[in-house]
Structure 1
Amino acid sequence: MDLANYPMPWLSRDEIREVSNEAQKIHDDIAAGRLIIHLHAHDGHTTVAVGTYPGGQSIHLHGENHLRQTTLVYDTTAEALRDFDDLYTDAVRPGPAPATETEQGAAAALAGTPAAGAGAPREAAPAEPVPPRTETVPVYAADPGDHEALLGEFLDTHGEWEKYRPWDETTIANHESLTLRAEFVHETGPRDTAWAVAPYESPVGERIWHATATPTTPVEIMRTLLDSLASENAWGQGPDSKITEKTLAEATRPLADDGWPQNTDGRCMNWTAPASEPAGLRFDAFAAQRPSGVLPTWTLWGGNTADRPTWAIHLSARAPAPLLQDLTFELAQGQGNRRLRNPRPLRSTPPTARPSLQSRAVAPGPPAATRKR
């Protein structure tokens, strides 16, 4: 071991082994599904991430490969996600970070794939990719899926829509009538707007209603919104119309039929999923009275809480009831896939950072690892 070139030369040989052993345990927990990574980011120097041991605590991770370490430990996933988002803001991306070159090389070696440039008596057949193990869950609890592929599929199956890309980061799908539009931003943070859709009175007329969606929205729900936009359901209420009890009943009928509990919280009416996975529909009566305001009238959400969800679709006041019914039907009845999660952690409590070591492993100075309560 070349101690002189080790990235943290202030560590002793035994401490270096301890850092590497801890990094290997974290890698194994992620690979085995015992540690679920929710978000990752690049802090300007290395990769950071936030994850949860199912049934256990949530942690912040710092570093890559043999330097990956636990830096913060939380009792709740919501607090860990909130702090991570506050720390890394626009750099945050959903899911785990792509495998490093070292991890790819190790995986290739374990699979028996010859290293690049190495001689072999015969050409080895390419290893078949191992699909990730998934489970079928209610659609609102599914993984986001591939939104890039969804956009391509929509344009391929709807010939009356044309693709326009004004900037590298944005693709716009325009209907041939020039009165329907869907905009997709390719690189966004998990709580930013990735989709914006709207119909217009005429090619140069006013916008009738609009909807936005985060990139973490399950593709099955986003597909329903796009398909409904491309149908006759796209046209909303007139400029002077108001939301009535009939509108509410029509829009939420699939949730009522499926037994979703409904309650009123101040100015908002909420329908929540009857299962253990958090999800719901929120109707804001205050926003409904101000159709030109910035507050959304309808919010479909999933994960965590309605105020800070994992994914969300926001719709304005004049969104048509048939389109809303399409979305709530998918919310109530749809299913999707989620990467399989091991219900039991590796041990009763996940590894917690030791201040005396972690402060030296991450950076000299005050301890980097603290316990959040």
Structure 2
Amino acid sequence: MTGDPTSSASDSGVADERVMVKPGYLAGPGDPDTALDDFLFEHKQWSRHRNGDKTTVAVSDCLTARIQLDHHPVEPGIRWTIAAYESPVGELAWRVDCDHRTPHEIALAVAGKLSDTLAYRSPVVQGEALWGQRPTRHMLLEELRESDWQDVSTHGEMAFQRPDATAGLVRWDEGAFHLDPGGQDHPADVCLWGGPPRGGQPMTEWRAYFSKHTPTRLITAALHHLTDPLSATRRRSEIPAAHRGRLEIRSGTGQARMQAAARRTKPSPPSEDRHPAPPAEPPAAARPVRRST
């Protein structure tokens, strides 16, 4: 055998080095299993059920919401599903599906906001925390217009994207936004997407779908990761090679450890108070509150 016997170990060490990656929405899916473990450690009100090595399902203590992680999704399959039901034995109210390339921070931003909201006992407070006080379209526009995103809407859909075309939002509102941007709103499917453009054109490397009736503040919780990008912690080997030219990557071992420690000691929330095509109809399966908008 020839070559430096220490080179493979050295290369492995570099690949396993934890680094801080910005923007996090281009950092790849990361380690979803560990991310869910951390989430459930922090949010004690969810019970875990594992189906061998296929899926893990977490069910809220109110039995009306669930988080499902597919450990081995078939490309281009769904890795994360977050859903809510009308009652513990009721019909699906809404669901969020994140594909196999979606950064786990996007999915868990939705799950975290939902978990914090379900901790409130008052239905009035819970509804306010889920929906806000204005129609969904207006709240999305407020988030988008506070950023520098570009309006690329068409006759059939409301669509915005970052100036560098690395992330965007599509809302299939049957042309309502085009006809009357400030007018009456109605429920519509939403997709958030991210990925490095190719040939100057947007490319959807990952997608997160929000069905009709998904609470507004769950969508904006995920959208905020795109309009005001945060750093994400990754092993070097987890960062998609095609994205690296658009990323700021810096050593972050100490910071990563501090973040992990903070996650495990953070107190629970208070117990009171072109564009991708539309997704197919989801199978029946989650509504803590449905509101017509």
Q: TM-score range by the shorter chain?
A: 0.5 to 0.7
- Per-residue CA deviation, residues 152-209 of structure 1 (Å, 9 max, x unaligned), is 1111111110111234311110111111111111101342111111111211112211
Change (3 A) 1:128 1:218: closer
Q: Which of 220, 230, 248 is matched with 2:137 structurally?
A: 248
For normalisation by structure 1, the TM-score amounts to 0.50
Residue identity in the other structure for 1:129: G
Task: Give distance in 2, aligned partners of 1:137 and 1:272.
Answer: 18
Task: Give distance in 2, aligned partners of 1:195 and 1:107.
Answer: 43
**Counterpart for residue 172 of structure 2:** 284
- Per-residue CA deviation, residues 21-54 of structure 1 (Å, 9 max, x unaligned), is xxxxxxxxxxxxxxxxxxxxxxxxxxxxxxxxxx
Q: Which of 4, 10, 21 is matched with 1:136 structurally?
A: 21
Q: Any conservation in 1 of the 2:153–2:160 contact (CA below 8 Å)?
A: no
**Counterpart for residue 224 of structure 1:** 109
The answer to whether structure 1 residue 257 and structure 2 residue 146 are counterparts is yes
Alignment gaps of 5+ in structure 2: 128-132, 177-184, 233-238, 247-293
**Counterpart for residue 283 of structure 2:** none
Q: Give RMSD over aligned pairs.
A: 3.6
Equivalent positions of 1:167-316 (< 5 A) are 167-232=52-117, 246-274=135-163, 276-286=164-174, 297-303=189-195, 309-316=204-211
Q: Any conservation in 2 of the 1:139–1:221 contact (CA below 8 Å)?
A: no
CA positional deviation for 1:283: 0.4
Q: Any conservation in 1 of the 2:83–2:95 contact (CA below 8 Å)?
A: yes
Q: Any conservation in 2 of the 1:178–1:203 contact (CA below 8 Å)?
A: yes
CA positional deviation for 1:334: 2.4
Change (3 A) 1:231 1:251: farther
**Counterpart for residue 290 of structure 2:** none
Q: Any conservation in 2 of the 1:233–1:322 contact (CA below 8 Å)?
A: no
Structure 1 or 2, whichever has the larger Rg, is 1
The answer to whether structure 1 residue 334 and structure 2 residue 219 are counterparts is no
**Range that drifts further, 303-312 or 276-285:** 303-312
Residue identity in the other structure for 1:298: V
CA positional deviation for 1:299: 0.1
Q: Any conservation in 2 of the 1:133–1:339 contact (CA below 8 Å)?
A: no
Residue identity in the other structure for 1:199: A
User: What's the secondary structure of 2:144's corresponding residue?
Assistant: helix
For normalisation by structure 2, the TM-score amounts to 0.63
CA positional deviation for 1:304: 5.3
The structure with higher relative contact order (CA 8 Å, sep 6+) is 2
Change (3 A) 1:189 1:166: closer
CA positional deviation for 1:138: 2.0
Change (3 A) 1:221 1:190: same
Task: Give distance in 2, aligned partners of 1:263 and 1:137.
Answer: 25
Q: Any conservation in 2 of the 1:132–1:339 contact (CA below 8 Å)?
A: no
CA positional deviation for 1:128: 8.8
Equivalent positions of 1:50-65 (< 5 A) are none
Q: Any conservation in 1 of the 2:83–2:96 contact (CA below 8 Å)?
A: yes
Change (3 A) 1:250 1:107: farther
Change (3 A) 1:246 1:216: same
User: What's the secondary structure of 1:230's corresponding residue?
Assistant: helix
Identity across aligned pairs (percent)?
Answer: 27
Q: Any conservation in 2 of the 1:221–1:331 contact (CA below 8 Å)?
A: no
Residue identity in the other structure for 1:283: R
Q: Any conservation in 2 of the 1:138–1:336 contact (CA below 8 Å)?
A: yes
**Counterpart for residue 21 of structure 1:** none
**Counterpart for residue 280 of structure 2:** none
**Counterpart for residue 28 of structure 1:** none
Q: Any conservation in 2 of the 1:261–1:271 contact (CA below 8 Å)?
A: yes
Equivalent positions of 1:62-77 (< 5 A) are none
Q: Any conservation in 1 of the 2:82–2:96 contact (CA below 8 Å)?
A: yes
Change (3 A) 1:166 1:110: closer
